Structure 1
Amino acid sequence: MRKLLLLMTLLTYSFNVLAQTETPASPLDELSQLNQEVMELYQAGQDRTGTTRDVLRMQVLNKNNELRDRIGEFINEPPEGTAATLLDYVKRQERYTDNTASYLNSKIQADEKALDKASQEEQLLKLKQLNEDRMLSVQMLGEQWENYQWMELLGHNTDQKKAKLAKAIANRLEFVSASLEYNNQQEKVLAKQLKEASESEKATLQLMHILAQRKLASDIDRLNYLISLGDQAQIDTSNYKKQQFEVTGDLTNDILNPQVIYSIVSAWAESLKTWLIDNTPQVLFKVFIFALVLLLFRLLKNLTRKVVKRAVASPNLKMSQLMQDFFISMSGKAVFFLGLLIALSQVGLNLAPILTGFGVAGVIIGFALQDTLSNFASGMMLLIYRPFDVGDFVEAGGVSGKVSHMSLVNTTIRTFDNQIIIVPNSKIWGDTIKNVTHERVRRVDMVFGIGYKDSIEQAEAILHDIIDNHPAVLRTPEKTIKVHTLNTSSVDFIVRPWVKTDDYWDVYWDVTREVKLRFDKEGVSIPFPQQDVHLHMVSPEKNDA
């Protein structure tokens, strides 16, 4: 409110002078009336206190702005014979602006000293008042520039005054720009310190950071106003617009100005050039170290895979092919991942955020890929319990065929007609698994029928002869050949020799073929399903009855 009191004092001086000297012409009666209202509001505020006085003082400022607006309107379209009176109004505004600016500059200096001596809690309030005074001081330059423009419209030469004011605007631009750069650096330093501070230090740093932010915001507002004013004064403001863009990141129409673009690009190019000159040797060395570490760990990865491959292939371990592939693959990947982390640390990269990011990403991916994780878990169970291995013939997941490839997510099965079917591991693990070739020895189950009129002993002797003479049939376990079923059309024998798993189908097909040939040769029939139908004739006498 001290700022308002100052303005009231200066306004009173100006308006008293106007009231004593002016005899307004009829077209300017409104200006005289506004001047009188300002004086009355100021006098009313002298006898009031508290909120009422503050409200009246604010009304004085608003009324003076209204007075300036009306002066501007009359100057744009001056009534006949009023030029001299309007020029007198403007000159008094010029003196008022000079006096206000001088007082504000003195007040700002005193407030800055008081701000440095104040406690941190008091600095927030004092800084707010100081920022308002600084902005008002900058606005005085704008009002003075407007005063000189009015004078030129009224035929008064102000070239020297405008040149002097333009120099003052340029000096103020330079000062505010330097202040903005300093406060921007301070804000960044405090923000970084605040992130790394302990709980006991945070309270003090937070207050200092708020002060830096408010100083920075005040500098940005003043710089924006001064850039606009500098453009009117035909001052080169391209560097200040570049700085404004770099600090705030706001895209404005000024960015499209070729000079501003050139200034931004030139600054970036110069920064890049300086950075390259200062850091190229160091960067090249780090890149060399990075590549060297990766190369060494790549060689170590291949060596590790070979060592692990030999280790897991040992017959004593009895590992499945899937488990062997798993350990070989994971060992190589683990070594290379470790090498990548070491290489990144050598170039100065902080690994803590990266590892934290991996953890967060893992949680997100886990929720997004629940089905895949289910397949992975099923793959781990298949790896541990080993119900089948690569190369086995299985019936699993509704598919029959030879396992051609396995991973922790899915299993590839090649069917007997050479189709490739990829089955998710969760479907395999959650269903019945039939491993046809897991055991080295299998029993071939066959059934052969003879007619009821054929000799059982002859047929049984033929079957024993066929099985005993086949080279692929094992002597141990003992074969089984028995009369099994008296069927509707045949007497059925079960023939069950034992063979190696790889010979299963060869024996099955050979024995079936040989049985047909020997039965035909020995006159033993192989019946097919048939029924006897018996018809009973009814005599005519029974029909007549």
Structure 2
Amino acid sequence: MRLLALMLLLVSSLSFAQTPKQEDSQQVAANPKVEQLQQLNTEISSLLKEQNAAFKEGSSSADVIGLQILNKNDERRDILASLISEKDSDKKQLLKEVNHQVVLINQFSTLLDDNLKRDQEKLDDAKDADKLIALKKLAETRQYSTLILNEEWQNYQWLEKLDKPAPKAVKELTSKVEHRLEFISASLNFDSQALDLASKQLKSATESEKSALQMSQILAQRQVDNDTENLKQLIEIADKVGIDTAKYKKQLFEQTGNVTDDLLNSKVIWSIASGWTTDLKDWLFDNLPQMLFKVFVFVLIIFAFKALKNIVRKMVKRAVSSKNLKMSMLMQEFFISMSGKAVFAIGILIALSQVGLNLAPILTGFGVAGIIVGFALQDTLSNFAAGMMLLIYRPFDVGDLVEAGGITGKVSHMSLVNTTIKTFSNEMLMIPNSKIWGDIIKNVTHEKVRRVDMVFGIGYGDDIEKTERVLNEIVSEHPAVLRSPEPTIKLHTLNSSSVDFIVRPWVKTDDYWDVYWDITREVKMRFDQENISIPFPQQDVHLHMVEKALEAKDA
């Protein structure tokens, strides 16, 4: 509902809304819009009388009647605007109506200026509990005052169209709009700073202080919103009266961040760019020395912890390499690597805290991100868990020859996620730890001593004792064969095509293949010298009933 003061002012202006004389009515009755205008004047006059009576009686219906009057006056202004745009309208009658609006709007403006001062004083003197109500009333008064300024500008435009310009009044209106723009702009700056201060204080406030600070924050936010909306309306009026509003549009853009057509204006763009350049220079002048010092401290801490990381790695390496701990190479590398990374991570966090970065949100974010990544990388976590089990149970170590995950080769490197195996053909294969842990692991080189299992076959017509003697000589003469445990040389199997001997000498793990290849070569050469045959699979085929079948055919 509009202000009660406007309604009182309408009562005082009753003399301006009298019904036209009969002869005027007859002259213009041909135009329906004129008839509507006359009808509205009559209705407004009637409503003013009713409102005057309601004021005398102290009835609350006066407010409702006042709203009706203002709505009727808006209709009257719409009709006036339409008639003024028509060429064949009665300018004399229209000029009379426009002058009436000029006087009426000027009275509204004067009273609203007084109300603005009074509402501002009430807001300043109000208690915290009543400030929101007082602010709402002040915002309402400012809104109506801005609307009145727009209608006042429209009145002077009408007078110019009716060949009765009022340059002095237009100049006064322009000055008034400029003054209002400067005031609202300053108010917006002040209220924005108050809002920022309240927000900062609220972050570090105790529980007992939060209630009062929250009220201050809400009040400051409402003031900023009201100032922003009022500035937007004033800019529209200022553009109409020819005021340069570039700096105010720039302020509005910086406050709201809304991109509008006004930003395409070269003056606005230049104002924004100049403001940012000035702000950047001021910021660099105020903060550059401090920022350079913080960067120096950051770099110094990083270098210090990098050196500390190397020292810690050496200390951990010396500790885990102790024979008493009996740690595998994989576990040693794990502890050495993790110790260095942990120290460097702590150094980064300390360095970030020294440059003013709040670590609490970062650590919280890492926690939340860890949960999300955990769900997204379940297979990787499975590999991680398998890697931990491999480190704990140590089924193999770096340099061991293993058969794991269906791959045979030498362990080159292991992390918590995968294991790198180098095959005999010099291929590097990275196998996920979950695949290794979930399959059979065969460590060929885990023990220091291994048995070489070989089988040699001779023919059924060869000398058994001679063969045993030759095999014993070959095994006993090889320098890499161990005397203890004793080698095993026995006749093992009577196969379909051969008589098989097992030859099982014990050797050092490193000599396994050398012994295997040397003995295999020597057996072939000695068997040839001793005329001992090495049979190969063969099959004899015997044909029966051939002669009888031929005889039957001839007969």
Stretches of structure 2 lacking an aligned partner (at least 5 in a row): none
Give the letter aligned to residue 18 of structure 2.
A
Q: Following TM superposition, by how much is the alpha carbon of 1:55 offset from its aligned partner in structure 2, in angstroms?
A: 5.2
Question: 2:445 matched to which residue of 1?
Answer: 437
Question: 1:237 matched to which residue of 2?
Answer: 245
Give the letter aligned to residue 334 of structure 1.
A
Question: 1:190 matched to which residue of 2?
Answer: 198
Give the letter aligned to residue 16 of structure 2.
V
Give the letter aligned to residue 475 of structure 2.
I
Moved more, 164-173 or 107-116: 107-116
Structure-2 separation of matches of 1:321 and 1:503? 23
Aligned residues: 542
Structure-1 separation of matches of 2:344 and 2:547? 100
Q: Is the CA contact 1:320–1:386 (under 8 Å) kept in the aligned structure 2?
A: yes
Question: 2:144 matched to which residue of 1?
Answer: 136
Question: 2:84 matched to which residue of 1?
Answer: 75
SS of match in other structure, 1:318 = coil
Moved more, 489-498 or 196-205: 196-205
SS of match in other structure, 2:18 = helix
User: For residues 20 and 536 of structure 1, do their structure 2 counterparts lie closer, same or farther at Cα, with a shift above 3 Å needed?
Assistant: closer
Q: Is the CA contact 2:7–2:63 (under 8 Å) kept in the aligned structure 1?
A: no
Q: Following TM superposition, by how much is the alpha carbon of 1:515 offset from its aligned partner in structure 2, in angstroms?
A: 1.1
Question: 1:31 matched to which residue of 2?
Answer: 37
Q: Is it true that 1:88 corresponds to 2:88 in the alignment?
A: no
Moved more, 309-318 or 145-154: 309-318
Q: Is the CA contact 1:12–1:39 (under 8 Å) kept in the aligned structure 2?
A: no
Q: Following TM superposition, by how much is the alpha carbon of 1:219 offset from its aligned partner in structure 2, in angstroms?
A: 0.7
Instruction: Report the RMSD for the aligned CA atoms in angstroms.
Output: 2.5
Write the mapping of 1:229-268 to structure 2, written as runs, cut at 5 A: 229-268=237-276
Write the mapping of 1:165-180 to structure 2, written as runs, cut at 5 A: 165-180=173-188
Question: 2:498 matched to which residue of 1?
Answer: 490
User: For residues 41 and 444 of structure 1, do their structure 2 counterparts lie closer, same or farther at Cα, with a shift above 3 Å needed?
Assistant: farther
Moved more, 414-423 or 221-230: 414-423
Q: Following TM superposition, by how much is the alpha carbon of 1:508 offset from its aligned partner in structure 2, in angstroms?
A: 1.0
User: For residues 53 and 18 of structure 1, do their structure 2 counterparts lie closer, same or farther at Cα, with a shift above 3 Å needed?
Assistant: closer
Structure-2 separation of matches of 1:40 and 1:543? 147
Q: Is the CA contact 2:17–2:44 (under 8 Å) kept in the aligned structure 1?
A: no
Moved more, 378-387 or 292-301: 292-301
Structure-1 separation of matches of 2:259 and 2:392? 60
Deviations 1:354-390 (A, max 9, x none): 2222222222222222211211111111112111112
Q: Is the CA contact 2:18–2:45 (under 8 Å) kept in the aligned structure 1?
A: no
Q: Is the CA contact 1:401–1:415 (under 8 Å) kept in the aligned structure 2?
A: yes
Structure-2 separation of matches of 1:432 and 1:42? 102
User: For residues 50 and 288 of structure 1, do their structure 2 counterparts lie closer, same or farther at Cα, with a shift above 3 Å needed?
Assistant: farther
Q: Is the CA contact 1:519–1:525 (under 8 Å) kept in the aligned structure 2?
A: yes
Q: Following TM superposition, by how much is the alpha carbon of 1:471 offset from its aligned partner in structure 2, in angstroms?
A: 0.9
Question: 1:318 matched to which residue of 2?
Answer: 326
User: For residues 143 and 536 of structure 1, do their structure 2 counterparts lie closer, same or farther at Cα, with a shift above 3 Å needed?
Assistant: same
Give the letter aligned to residue 84 of structure 2.
I
Moved more, 268-277 or 122-131: 122-131
Q: Is it true that 1:503 corresponds to 2:534 in the alignment?
A: no
Q: Following TM superposition, by how much is the alpha carbon of 1:229 offset from its aligned partner in structure 2, in angstroms?
A: 1.0
Q: Is the CA contact 1:108–1:133 (under 8 Å) kept in the aligned structure 2?
A: yes
Moved more, 335-344 or 389-398: 335-344
Question: 1:9 matched to which residue of 2?
Answer: 8
Q: Is it true that 1:522 corresponds to 2:530 in the alignment?
A: yes
Deviations 1:313-364 (A, max 9, x none): 3333332222222222222222222222222222222222222222222222
Structure-2 separation of matches of 1:91 and 1:529? 130
Q: Is the CA contact 2:450–2:507 (under 8 Å) kept in the aligned structure 1?
A: yes
Structure-2 separation of matches of 1:495 and 1:364? 59
Question: 1:64 matched to which residue of 2?
Answer: 73
TM-score normalised per structure 1:
0.93
Deviations 1:464-490 (A, max 9, x none): 111000111111111111111122222
Q: Is it true that 1:19 corresponds to 2:18 in the alignment?
A: yes
Structure-1 separation of matches of 2:134 and 2:360? 42
Give the letter aligned to residue 299 of structure 1.
A
Question: 2:303 matched to which residue of 1?
Answer: 295
User: For residues 539 and 428 of structure 1, do their structure 2 counterparts lie closer, same or farther at Cα, with a shift above 3 Å needed?
Assistant: closer
Identity rate, percent: 58
Structure-1 separation of matches of 2:360 and 2:149? 52
Write the mapping of 1:89-168 to structure 2, written as runs, cut at 5 A: 89-168=97-176
